[in-house]
Structure 1
Amino acid sequence: MKKIKIVIVLAVLIGLNTCLYSQISNQKWPSIINDKEPSWFATNEAKEVAENVLLYQRNIGGWPKNIQMQNPLTPAEKQKLIALKADTKEVTTDNGATCQEMLFLSKMYAQVPDERYKNAFLAGVDYLLKAQYENGGWPQFYPLKKGYYTHITYNDNSMANIMNVLKEVAEKTDYYSIKAPDATAEKAQKAFNKGIDCILKTQYKQNGVLTAWCAQHDEVTLLPANARAFELASLSGQESAKLVLLLMSVKNPSPEIITAVNSAVAWFEKTKITDLREERVPVPNSKIMEKVMVKDPNASPLWARFMELSDNTPFFCDRDGIKKATLAEIGQERRVGYSWYTNQPKEVLKKYENWKKKIEGETVAPPKKKSEVTLKDEFNIVVDQKGNGDFKTIQEAINASKAYPAQRISILIKNGTYYEKVKVHAWNTRISFIGESRENTIITFDDYFGKINLGRNSTFYTATLSIDGNDFFAKNLTIKNTSGPVGQAVTVNVSANRVQFSNCSFEGNQDTLYTAGEGNKNYFKDCYIEGTTDFIFGDATVLFENCNIHSKSDSYATAASTQNEIPYGYVFKNCKLTADEKVTKAYLGRPWRPYAKTVFLNCEIGKHILPEGWSAWSKSEAATNCFYAEYKCSGEGYQPKNRVSWSHQLKDSEAKNYSIENILDSDIPVGTKKWYLRTN
């Protein structure tokens, strides 16, 4: 009798368990995470699901997508998942993957403080941090999966989801029950800031006007990119909405964020469709519900998911990749199986007015005046991104500095990577940047010609650091343009007089260092300058002393544009010319303008420099008007007998004219003589 009772009890328990699993198996995985009451996460049912979630997580920290985690697993399936732990294929943030599992574990931990849930959550945070590109964006899969998956992915709100996770982690809010260690929170904040910058840089300009975003942007050029055949590069009404809501959530938004939001809202207003609504009509003898767009003057606003980059015209595509003007023109499979319209921007418009009022209220007090008042010493300012100085950003320190000061303003920049575009304005004279160390005090940004998109002169807007203020001095810094080999991308733009860099590194590709201004004189000592094409260019008079000039491609190191009446252009003394191993056919220089002047004295020239040394750049007048010369150089690349016939090898008497006094002191006011002897 006892045995019969036990069997009955077991049968009942198994039946109940099967019934419970049946209930949650009928739900979608995201709805289980988002719709269940907090108390449910303390149940045995939830614990069983949590075991599945832990099993599906890969060692790298992320999860695959489109998994119904609540479905029961057989012993064989569990063993298979254990064997897959080290596998990194198909780990992604697409379709909510990874971010939603992290939320589930947080809700579990709030009810059941199992350390495994906490560790798995923090592994997820680490995965998101590792997956980020240097430019601030995220791919769809990490490790990278070949194809369009490597693009920066806003599609299906992938990057917006990641950014929202990192924001909560960085600010240690109560949204997640699991709090990250301080070091991880700090990394999350940096990653979030980089992500915001990426979003700002990818906002599409249509005829010079900021609009919205595309579902994918190229991970190198940041330009709009295609995905699947029916997902062509276009402005997206759906993905853009979540990005704007994210920008609106930023505390103390920068002017750039405010402009981005205002521009996107204006675009949403311009592109909303007010006379269409979607209807679902059953197809006879089928379970399919046909999708039909119906004209309705009283319909709620909709936005197309795909709009032309040139004029915002909605379009639709089938798997053949051919654009159609209406939804009815594409095949039923894509018509019914894809979201072509969205109402998500309505949430942006709903919140916009209150956001705008709040921002306007926050920006009433002039921040610059407040900053000046709080400075302990207005002539010795400290920048520390960790918050242990007067300012966290370099630009804030510049903006708080006196215009045309009576004495030099020294800005000490503590170690850190300052991801910002920095400008020393014309009125910011007598400014010094003193880095804590050359290796670890880094200013970096990644603008380039195609991204700036301001016409034929876009190059000159791309600089990471721009100097318009005279008598600028800098030492112990590294300045980078990290946009990569994407064309013109300036690292430093010097358009001022008596500018000196000491013990600094300039990293970039094409057009790394631009020195501008007829009559301006600059001095670079003990510096490292790298690039690909014309990576030192401009019309200023510049002395490079004890510098390393490093070529990264078979191209031209310099492109001077010296004016005819200026006696000295680029002068390199005691410098070393090196190159990447693959570089074998580089030139010392070519003329950007016909009277270019470039001279190398006592330099060690690597074998990557071609025997002819110089290029005329298809300018017939170069041989007559340019002045290219060398004096007592050394190295495998120094081949004076094989140089182009119109270049020069200086005599001793001629070389004497290339003293630092002659190059940098001539035509300098008496009060600023010997300006190049400055050390801070």
Structure 2
Amino acid sequence: MELFPPLFLLNSLLIFFTPSSAFRVFRISDYSENVINAGSKVAQTITVDKSGHEAFKTIQAAIDSIPSENTQWVLVQINPGIYIEKVSIPVDKPFVFLKGIGGRTQTTVTFDGHDQTDTSSTFSSFADNVVVQGITFKNSFNLAAALNFEDEITNGVNVVKPALAARIYGDKSAFFESGFVGLQDTLFDVQGRHYFKTCYIEGAIDFIFGSGQSFYEDTLINVTVEALPSPIRVGFITAQGRSSSNDPSGFVFKGGLVFGSGQVQLGRAYGPYSRVIFYGTNLGAVVAPQGWDAWRQKGHEGNIMYAEVNCKGQGSDTTKRVAWEKKMSTSDLNKYYSKSSFVDQDLWISKLPETM
């Protein structure tokens, strides 16, 4: 798993290189700290229809039409269909609301980029204050290659490659009733505070990864390890990259369901202080008894924060979990890892535009 994006990250700075080898620097929050409070009202609505019945046939063209340093919510309403394109919201276009009409089963954005996390993602969001509802982002590369996995393995070729469906950089980004479909590295939850509500995430290897400070509520997690070549027996849901004890990042899963095929571990530690918590989640039989893997942090398991609280289901038996899994009381969970305490301290979620 390669974690270098198409720009360098340094102390919350985004450094973009141009074709002339010059570069431009943006601070992640520059376009949200100094703009007028957009409130929760949508100031403008534009519509995308792939048949050409509206002003825009592609989602990217609609985003490109939004002025830089936008200060009011713009609703991009996307009519049902399969949009074969890469979509990117640049850092200087905050307050964008992408809404798929008919829900995530009716509106899909798909592409087959692969090999690197800095070039493969179907959807990339760099701006703060972004909302997405009712859209599925899919990377079709590994899924299309699945039919040839056994032939490729026989010939000594590693056909499974990083192939991102989405990567999220901006602070205060929220996803409602949306889908993320891939096999390896499906969702790159890079950095910033993110909220996922009633979403669907599919994959097999490190398919939720990064250093975001994110709260996943009532999420369906579909494990597809049996789609991998036969030598690969166990997958990993998370690869969280928290770098220090002061790093606020982590993944918290409240409620939801883990199901699917094969065997999967809840997470492996990409960062030295990796932090992932499942609570009140229905863990299906697909969850392997060990539960977690120290991976790159073997010998430093004491710094890793992995916990399960009040989970249920066939995969929730913790008697055979790794000995270093943390124990957490319900009171500590509510104090430090509730939605309000972990990602919504300034009540930004309640200020989002209406998503229904």
Q: TM (normalized to structure 2)?
A: 0.77
Residue 184 of structure 2 corresponds to which residue in structure 1? 510
Q: How does 1:393-408 map to 2 (within 5 A)?
A: 393-408=58-73
Candidates 259, 270, 274, aligned match of 1:596: 274
Higher strand proportion, which one? 2
SS at structure 1 position matched to 2:66 = coil
The letter of the residue matching 1:475 is Q
Residue 213 of structure 2 corresponds to which residue in structure 1? 541
Residue 294 of structure 2 corresponds to which residue in structure 1? 616
SS at structure 2 position matched to 1:661 = helix
Change (3 A) 1:387 1:634: same
Alpha-carbon distance between aligned partners in 2 of 1:675 and 1:621, rounded to the nearest angstrom: 43
Note if 1:653 corresponds to 2:339.
no
Candidates 492, 504, 509, aligned match of 2:166: 492
Q: Deviations over 1:37-63 (max 9, x none)?
A: xxxxxxxxxxxxxxxxxxxxxxxxxxx
Note if 1:579 corresponds to 2:260.
yes
Residue 228 of structure 2 corresponds to which residue in structure 1? none
Two-structure CA RMSD over aligned residues (Å)? 1.8
Alpha-carbon distance between aligned partners in 2 of 1:673 and 1:551, rounded to the nearest angstrom: 29
SS at structure 2 position matched to 1:534 = strand
Q: Deviations over 1:558-581 (max 9, x none)?
A: 00001321345000000100112x
Note if 1:468 corresponds to 2:146.
no
SS at structure 2 position matched to 1:396 = helix
Note if 1:422 corresponds to 2:98.
no
Q: Deviations over 1:308-342 (max 9, x none)?
A: xxxxxxxxxxxxxxxxxxxxxxxxxxxxxxxxxxx
Change (3 A) 1:623 1:677: farther
The letter of the residue matching 1:556 is F
How far did 1:622 drift? 3.9
Work out whether residues 211 and 249 of structure 2, in 8 Å CA contact, stay in contact via their aligned partners in 1. Answer: no
Alpha-carbon distance between aligned partners in 2 of 1:561 and 1:512, rounded to the nearest angstrom: 15
Alpha-carbon distance between aligned partners in 1 of 2:349 and 2:253, rounded to the nearest angstrom: 21
Candidates 240, 244, 250, aligned match of 1:560: 240
Work out whether residues 43 and 72 of structure 2, in 8 Å CA contact, stay in contact via their aligned partners in 1. Answer: no
Alpha-carbon distance between aligned partners in 2 of 1:568 and 1:652, rounded to the nearest angstrom: 20
Q: How does 1:616-655 map to 2 (within 5 A)?
A: 616-655=294-333
SS at structure 2 position matched to 1:555 = strand
Q: Which runs of 4+ in 1 moved over 6 A?
A: none
Residue 355 of structure 2 corresponds to which residue in structure 1? 679
Change (3 A) 1:678 1:642: farther
Alpha-carbon distance between aligned partners in 2 of 1:417 and 1:424, rounded to the nearest angstrom: 19
Candidates 119, 129, 137, aligned match of 1:479: 137
- Identity over aligned residues, as a percent? 31
Q: Deviations over 1:96-123 (max 9, x none)?
A: xxxxxxxxxxxxxxxxxxxxxxxxxxxx
Q: Deviations over 1:367-409 (max 9, x none)?
A: xxxxxxxxxx982100001111120000000101112222100
The letter of the residue matching 1:662 is S
Work out whether residues 269 and 296 of structure 2, in 8 Å CA contact, stay in contact via their aligned partners in 1. Answer: no
Structure exhibiting the larger radius of gyration computed from Cα positions: 1
Change (3 A) 1:676 1:379: closer
Note if 1:663 corresponds to 2:342.
yes
The letter of the residue matching 2:172 is R
Q: How does 1:345-494 map to 2 (within 5 A)?
A: 379-437=44-102, 438-449=104-115, 458-484=116-142, 486-494=160-168
Change (3 A) 1:643 1:615: same
Alpha-carbon distance between aligned partners in 2 of 1:612 and 1:402, rounded to the nearest angstrom: 50
SS at structure 2 position matched to 1:648 = coil
The letter of the residue matching 2:137 is I
Q: Deviations over 1:81-103 (max 9, x none)?
A: xxxxxxxxxxxxxxxxxxxxxxx
User: Size of the alignment, in residue pairs?
Assistant: 288
SS at structure 1 position matched to 2:286 = coil
Work out whether residues 270 and 297 of structure 2, in 8 Å CA contact, stay in contact via their aligned partners in 1. Answer: no
Residue 569 of structure 1 corresponds to which residue in structure 2? 250
Q: Deviations over 1:596-649 (max 9, x none)?
A: 000000000011111111011152244121100010000111112221111123
How far did 1:444 drift? 0.4
Alpha-carbon distance between aligned partners in 1 of 2:252 and 2:323, rounded to the nearest angstrom: 20
Work out whether residues 416 and 441 of structure 1, in 8 Å CA contact, stay in contact via their aligned partners in 2. Answer: yes
How far did 1:673 drift? 6.5
Change (3 A) 1:677 1:637: farther
Q: How does 1:194-205 map to 2 (within 5 A)?
A: none
Alpha-carbon distance between aligned partners in 2 of 1:622 and 1:586, rounded to the nearest angstrom: 22
Alpha-carbon distance between aligned partners in 2 of 1:439 and 1:474, rounded to the nearest angstrom: 14
Alpha-carbon distance between aligned partners in 2 of 1:544 and 1:677, rounded to the nearest angstrom: 19
Asked which structure has the greater RCO (Cα within 8 Å, sep 6+), the reply is: 2
The letter of the residue matching 2:141 is S
SS at structure 2 position matched to 1:459 = coil
Alpha-carbon distance between aligned partners in 2 of 1:394 and 1:577, rounded to the nearest angstrom: 31
Residue 159 of structure 1 corresponds to which residue in structure 2? none
Alpha-carbon distance between aligned partners in 1 of 2:320 and 2:327, rounded to the nearest angstrom: 11
Alpha-carbon distance between aligned partners in 2 of 1:431 and 1:676, rounded to the nearest angstrom: 11
Alpha-carbon distance between aligned partners in 2 of 1:543 and 1:677, rounded to the nearest angstrom: 19
Q: Deviations over 1:265-302 (max 9, x none)?
A: xxxxxxxxxxxxxxxxxxxxxxxxxxxxxxxxxxxxxx
How far did 1:479 drift? 1.0
SS at structure 2 position matched to 1:391 = coil
Residue 236 of structure 1 corresponds to which residue in structure 2? none
Work out whether residues 534 and 558 of structure 1, in 8 Å CA contact, stay in contact via their aligned partners in 2. Answer: yes
Change (3 A) 1:419 1:427: same
How far did 1:469 drift? 1.0
Q: TM (normalized to structure 1)?
A: 0.41
Moved more, 598-607 or 567-576: 567-576
